[in-house]
Amino acid sequence: MLFLIKWNVSQSQRVACWNVFGNMTPDDDLKDAGEHINIVGRWHELSGAGGVCICECSDSAHLNSWMLNWGPICDISVVPVVDDAHARAAMVGKPWFQSAGGVAAGSGATKQ
């Protein structure tokens, strides 16, 4: 399962967080996340105040453990996400779904 992680670092914790993260090696990143988590990508705000990560794991307990490593110095939110193919597949078969350019009644949407 894929997860979107967003983090923000308060100004009072920023230098401490930068020093922890800045001193980590790629091997440290792997140890920090654990063997059950695949980090798909991680992106940082230019200000250093936060960022986002997409990771994959099959057991939320492993993800929870990883997030607790950073919880003391970051505000973190985690949301399960799906890619386009999974989102589209979930829509097919719903009572409101209309294929071939149709529009669901009452949606107000138009196909261009």
In a domain, 35, yes or no: yes
In a domain, 66, yes or no: yes
Per the structure, the complete domain to which residue 74 belongs is given by 2-91
The per-residue pLDDT for 93 is: 83
Q: What CATH number did the domain enclosing 77 receive?
A: 3.30.70
Cβ distance 74 to 17 under 8 Å?
yes
Domain count of the fold of the chain: 1
Tokens linked to 59: 């057991």
In a domain, 106, yes or no: no
Each residue's pLDDT tens digit, 3-43: 999 999 999 999 999 999 999 999 999 999 999 999 999 99
Each residue's pLDDT tens digit, 72-103: 999 999 999 999 999 999 999 899 999 877 65
In a domain, 112, yes or no: no
In the sheet that holds 38-44, the strands lie side by side as: 38-44, 50-56, 2-8, 75-81
In a domain, 32, yes or no: yes
**Position 49 pLDDT exceeds 60:** yes
